[in-house]
């Protein structure tokens, strides 16, 4: 892993005419996405002799927001600055990309990287299918419900190389599974039997005991929550996904959905910089709605006179009774043009909420067309 990452350092300078493959993580750039991309790219480069570049679907300036990524890499004396980011890839050089492998998502969502979607040859993912049936043709699809995409990546690596023993790759994947499953917590209900089997295999290969899981998980969780120096816009961008739709008139509609780690939404909305930073974020990206989840809360902004907010709010409240989502009265949120909802089920993280939000936005757009 050390040699592989060091070899990426001058990627933007030395790829003027060289062909290469890309392993692309998702736009949120969380630990699972970053590690899945790096681990698979490193393995495939070694196994095939063909250069596979792990490409982060976010810009280099936002690396510092991924505090848990920085912690995990630096703990292993790996330099995360050697990674390749969306703004490192010259748009004119995408012609040199031969094949694209998607990890932790199944459709390229970042408009700046849209040209790569036509070159997708394989997908390893654990989210709901977004890719159209036509776009799936000829694509090697691995799509299963597990707690962590890194679980599926590890299975791919071990199937190719049963004796795989790169300790840094193994450690990164292990830490990611622990993080994504909340240390196999029965409360969040994220872990599957598949995650557990792979985690045990990783520990066997590393020669370590399961006793160290809680300590490792707490250290990574602490790093992830170390955002005391973040302003509100940084909290939003740290772990953000964008839902994009194109209307028949060619008008794009986008909604962002962010996981605010280590902060309750009821606290975030009370920050002095909340209203201005969220409004600036929405305006800068042309986002019609900003959705945030943190603790047991959900925030929707802007709320007043926003049909998308009403559509999403209605969809979430009418979701499975198991989710326990309801609108909560909050004078501060209302004064700052935000709707505040609470959820009683910790298992309903963004992974489960995002498909509901996407469906609500799609239905609202269709309704607006019919009115016109």
Q: What is the CATH number of the domain that holds 365?
A: 3.10.310.20
Question: In the chain, how many domains are there?
Answer: 2
Task: Assess whether 180 and 296 both reside in one domain.
Answer: no
**pLDDT of the residue at 89:** 86
Task: Assess whether 248 and 189 both reside in one domain.
Answer: no
Count of CB atoms situated within 10 Å of the CB of 79: 13
Domain limit, last residue, from 176, 203, 223: 223
The two three-digit tokens of residue 274, written as one number: 């909340």
β-pairing verdict for 325-327 and 339-343: antiparallel
Supply the pTM of this predicted model.
Answer: 0.89
Task: Assess whether 123 and 266 both reside in one domain.
Answer: no
Torsion of CA 157, 160, 165, 169, to 10 degrees: -20
H or E, element range at 290:
strand 287-294
- CA torsion sign for 277, 280, 284, 289 is positive
**pLDDT of the residue at 207:** 97
Task: Assess whether 246 and 153 both reside in one domain.
Answer: no
Task: Assess whether 54 and 18 both reside in one domain.
Answer: yes
Q: What is the pLDDT along the chain (372 residues), one digit of tens a residue?
A: 999 999 898 776 665 557 899 999 999 999 999 999 999 999 999 999 999 999 999 999 999 999 999 999 999 999 999 999 999 988 777 888 999 999 999 999 998 999 999 999 999 999 999 999 999 999 999 999 999 999 999 999 999 999 999 999 999 999 999 999 999 999 889 999 999 999 999 999 999 999 999 999 999 999 999 998 999 999 999 999 999 987 655 568 999 999 998 899 999 999 999 999 999 999 999 999 999 999 899 999 999 999 999 999 999 999 888 899 999 999 999 999 999 999 999 889 898 999 999 999 999 888 877 665
Task: Assess whether 167 and 199 both reside in one domain.
Answer: yes
What residues make up the domain containing 214? 2-223
Task: Assess whether 184 and 244 both reside in one domain.
Answer: no
Distance CA 341, CA 293 (A): 9
Distance CA 127, CA 143 (A): 7
Cβ–Cβ < 8 Å for 141, 123 = yes
Domain limit, last residue, from 205, 223, 241: 223
Residue matched to tokens 């892993």? 1
- DSSP-derived secondary structure for 163-209: T---HHHHHHHHHHHHHHTTTT-TTTT---HHHHHHHHHHHHHHT--
**pLDDT of the residue at 250:** 59
Q: What is the CATH number of the domain that holds 72?
A: 3.90.1640.10
Task: Assess whether 265 and 314 both reside in one domain.
Answer: yes
Task: Assess whether 177 and 44 both reside in one domain.
Answer: yes
Cβ–Cβ < 8 Å for 120, 98 = no
Residues 6+ apart with CB under 8 A from 120: 100, 101, 102, 108, 135, 139
Alpha-carbon separation of residue 341 from 87, 101, 298, 314, 318 (angstroms): 36, 37, 5, 11, 12
Task: Assess whether 213 and 237 both reside in one domain.
Answer: no
């Amino acid at each position: 892993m050390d040699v592989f990452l060091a070899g990426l350092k001058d990627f933007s300078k030395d790829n003027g005419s060289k062909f290469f493959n890309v392993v692309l993580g998702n736009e949120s750039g969380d630990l699972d996405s970053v590690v899945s991309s790096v681990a698979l790219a490193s393995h495939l480069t070694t196994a095939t002799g063909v250069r596979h570049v792990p490409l982060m679907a976010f810009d280099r300036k936002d690396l510092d927001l991924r505090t848990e990524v920085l912690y995990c890499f630096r703990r292993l004396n790996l330099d995360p600055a050697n990674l390749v980011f969306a703004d490192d890839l010259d748009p004119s050089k995408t012609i040199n990309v031969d094949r694209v492998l998607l990890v932790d998502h199944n459709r390229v969502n970042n408009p700046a990287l849209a040209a790569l979607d036509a070159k997708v040859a394989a997908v390893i993912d654990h989210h709901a299918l977004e890719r159209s049936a036509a776009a799936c043709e000829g694509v090697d699809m691995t799509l299963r419900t597990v707690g962590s995409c890194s679980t599926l990546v590890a299975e791919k690596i071990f199937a190719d190389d049963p004796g795989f023993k790169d300790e840094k790759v193994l450690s990164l994947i292990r830490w990611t599974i622990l993080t994504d499953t909340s240390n196999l917590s029965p409360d969040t209900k994220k872990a599957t039997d598949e995650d557990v089997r792979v985690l045990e295999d990783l520990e066997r290969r590393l020669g370590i005991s399961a006793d160290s899981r809680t300590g490792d998980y707490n250290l990574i969780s602490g790093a992830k929550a170390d955002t005391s120096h973040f302003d509100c816009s940084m909290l939003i961008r740290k772990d953000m996904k964008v839902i994009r739709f194109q209307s028949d008139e060619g008008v794009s509609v986008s909604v962002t959905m962010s996981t605010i780690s280590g902060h309750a939404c009821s606290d975030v909305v009370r920050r002095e910089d909340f209203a201005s930073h969220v409004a600036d974020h929405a305006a800068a990206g042309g986002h019609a709605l900003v959705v945030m989840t943190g603790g047991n809360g959900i925030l929707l902004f802007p709320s007043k006179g926003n049909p998308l907010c009403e559509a999403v709010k209605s969809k979430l409240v009418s979701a499975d009774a198991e989710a326990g989502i309801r609108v909560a009265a909050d004078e501060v949120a209302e004064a700052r043009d935000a709707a505040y909802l609470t959820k009683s089920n910790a298992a309903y993280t963004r992974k489960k909420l995002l498909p509901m939000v996407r469906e609500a936005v799609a239905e609202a757009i269709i309704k607006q067309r019919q009115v016109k």
